[in-house]
Amino acid sequence: MTAAPISSASPQQPDDRTGPKPALAERERRRQAQLEQIIREQAAELAWANEQLQSHIDAGRWIEQTLIAERDFIAAIVDTVDALIIVLDRAGRTIRFNRTCQETTGYTFDEVRDQPFWSLFLLPAEVEPVRAVLAELRADRISNRHEAYWLTRDGRKRLIAWSNTALLDDNGELEYIICTGIDITERRRAEETLQKAYAEQEQILAVQQAVTSRLEIEAVLEMIATAARRLTGARVSLLYLIEAGRLRLAVVSGAENGDMPANYTVPLTESTAGLSLQAGRPLLVNEASTDPRVNADLRRRLHLHRLVAVPLISGQQPLGVLEVADKPEPFGPDDTQILAMLTPGAVIALENARLYAQAQRAAALEERQRLARELHDAVTQTLFSASLIADVLPEMWDQDPAHGRRLLQDLQQLSRGALAEMRTLLLELRPAALREAKLGDLIHQLAAAFTGREGTLVTVNLNRQDTFPDDMQVSLYRITQEALHNIAKHAGASRVTIHLWRTPAGSDPLKRVTLKIIDNGCGFDPAGVPPDHLGLGIMRERAEAIGATLDIISWPDQGTQIEVNWKVTVR
């Protein structure tokens, strides 16, 4: 098939200049211009968008770099701070574990990553309490604090004080827990050590005050031994006193000592106590069964296993040894220090008790000498006079019965006086009798003794059934005794009167007491006599001791009146 030939006779084309062609071209140009304008505007917008995008990209890169820098900075802080920092997810798994945590526990971050922290670090008994603390953070408590022990890789316990903070997600749900902790193990140990030392100091001070307030040697020894045992936690304590070159076991505290004979002693050279005393320093033995320094007999009797001995030395004078034995753990420097702090007070107490015992012996000797003098001066002379009268009485009775009757009366008076003197001396030998007897009977006895000794009539006005408090009774008795002594020595009186009243009478509660001792002797001027002369000072002290007043009324050649007044004080 061939194409049809093109006819040369074609329609007439319009004139470009005069037909529709110029209008079409114009429209085309305008469309092209519009299209170019749109393209330029879009290109400008695209360029602006590209600039904005690049700006955002640059800002994003800056933000990313800043975040990385901040992350590195925070990571550096987290890893360099001395606090323990651990970050947990909501299930309690570890997602952050700083350098201090690693150094404290001995675990690396890789070893603990994604592991529940309680499975590695907590004691079994503390798992539930700590989980309960962290569970509180789920109940809108954003932060809380607690203390817990953590176990290290090598099994040591470290006490950590934790502060926990919750981070919530956009829905307000728990997302992370940041735990910041401080290892307070050493601080707590120091606090406990300080508290223990303070408590020990208080106990030692209380013991020292207690033992130094007692003067009886047996009570002091028992208190020292008991205090040493309790302060050190020992099973038994022993206190030795040095006597005749050996150590006598004076006290055993805390153990049955039925197997210990009386006056049990150990040698200075074959016992820990003796060696400690000779060396002048503490001696510690934690294996008594094999240590030759421990006395074998004492170890067998008291079943000793470990002990500490501390010498008791006053200046250069050895007094004894304090020893504690047997506690669950070995003895150490702390036990030695406790005993070293206790011993100064123990030494003072022992010295005080020893001096008190010496003073008592000296006082007893002085009292015996005084009684011997009074026996010689009063009773012996009275009995000697009575003996002389008794010798001449039969002959005188035959020659002059009237004179013989007078001698017989004198003999009766002397005998009564001697009997009264003996009763008074017996009272001095047993001071408790001054409190047991009625004051009226005691004063009648003083009066009878005075009359028998001096031949001076004494009139006593009182109610024999009246009772008085013990201290008041002794003081009034002694004042009366001293007053009669002064009258006999200085007054030269021929008549003495003693009045004693109490209100109310009998045994009802006291309101007022008055004692008067009046003589018709030579008297004196009280203003010209020192207050402590003639026994006046002693009488005043005794009156003041019971809250009474003592007044002395006297004139030369007109006798003397001593008056004691006591009355109840209403407060």
d(C-alpha 394, C-alpha 382), whole Å: 19
Please identify which residue in the block is written with the tokens 């061939």.
2
d(C-alpha 389, C-alpha 392), whole Å: 5
Peptide bond into 292 cis (omega under 30): no
Closest by CA to 285, choosing from 311, 313, 305, is 305
- Look at residue 188 and give its three-state secondary structure: helix
* CATH no., domain 430-571: 3.30.565.10
Residue 514: per-residue pLDDT:
93
- Relative to beta strand 495-503, strand 457-461 is parallel
Domain boundaries, the chain: 79-183, 190-354, 430-571
Please identify which residue in the block is written with the tokens 């900075």.
73
Tokens of 269: 């050279």
Residue 383: per-residue pLDDT:
67
Residue 376: per-residue pLDDT:
55
CB-based contact 349:225 (threshold 8 Å): no
Cβ atoms within 10 Å of 480's Cβ, excluding its own: 24
List the pLDDT tens digit at each of the 571 positions of the chain. 444 444 444 445 555 555 567 788 888 888 888 888 888 888 888 888 888 888 888 887 877 777 776 666 666 666 667 789 999 988 889 998 998 999 999 999 999 999 988 888 888 888 888 888 777 766 556 667 888 899 999 989 999 998 888 888 888 888 888 889 999 999 898 888 888 777 777 777 777 666 666 667 777 788 888 888 888 889 999 999 988 889 999 889 887 655 778 889 999 888 999 999 999 999 999 999 899 999 999 988 899 999 999 999 888 888 889 999 999 899 988 888 888 888 887 787 777 777 777 777 776 667 666 666 655 555 566 666 777 777 777 777 777 778 777 777 777 776 766 666 666 666 665 566 677 788 888 888 888 888 877 888 899 998 877 888 888 888 898 899 889 988 988 888 999 999 998 888 776 788 889 999 999 999 888 877 776 665 788 888 889 989 999 999 998 888 999 999 998 764 4
Residue 140: per-residue pLDDT:
57
Please calculate the CA angle 70-71-74 and round it to the nearest 5 degrees: 80
* CATH no., domain 79-183: 3.30.450.20
Tokens of 224: 């020292």
Tokens of 514: 């008055």
d(C-alpha 566, C-alpha 571), whole Å: 15
* Adjacent-strand bridge partners of 517: 498, 562
Instruction: Please state the three-class secondary structure of 215-255 as a single string.
Output: CCHHHHHHHHHHHHHHHHCCCEEEEEEEECCEEEEEEEECC
Cβ atoms within 10 Å of 497's Cβ, excluding its own: 16
- Relative to beta strand 307-314, strand 283-285 is antiparallel
d(C-alpha 514, C-alpha 565), whole Å: 5
d(C-alpha 307, C-alpha 322), whole Å: 11
- Supply φ then ψ for residue 264, to 5 degrees: -70, 135
| pTM exceeds 0.75, yes or no | no
Instruction: Please state the three-class secondary structure of 191-212 as a single string.
Output: HHHHHHHHHHHHHHHHHHHHHH
CB-based contact 266:249 (threshold 8 Å): yes
Chain centre distance of CA 400: 84
- Supply φ then ψ for residue 108, to 5 degrees: -90, 165
d(C-alpha 136, C-alpha 140), whole Å: 8
CB-based contact 309:273 (threshold 8 Å): yes
- Look at residue 257 and give its three-state secondary structure: coil
Tokens of 215: 């003067």
- Supply φ then ψ for residue 539, to 5 degrees: -65, -40
**Could you check whether 190-354 and 430-571 share the same CATH topology?**
no
Residue 325: per-residue pLDDT:
93
pLDDT tens-digit series, residues 29-88: 888 888 888 888 888 888 888 888 888 888 878 777 777 766 666 666 666 677 899 999
Tokens of 100: 């201090």
CB-based contact 453:470 (threshold 8 Å): no
CATH class belonging to 190-354: alpha beta
Edge to edge, what strands does the sheet with 549-554 contain? Answer: 457-461, 495-503, 512-519, 560-567, 549-554
DSSP conformation class of 326: -
How large is the greatest C-alpha to C-alpha distance in the chain, in angstroms?
227
d(C-alpha 57, C-alpha 49), whole Å: 12
Tokens of 513: 């007491």
Residue 533: per-residue pLDDT:
66
Please provide the DSSP assignment of 260-277 as one string: SPTT-EEESSSSHHHHHH
d(C-alpha 128, C-alpha 230), whole Å: 38
DSSP conformation class of 153: T
Return the H-helix or E-strand segment holding 308: strand 307-314
- Look at residue 86 and give its three-state secondary structure: strand
DSSP conformation class of 556: T
Please identify which residue in the block is written with the tokens 């003397």.
560
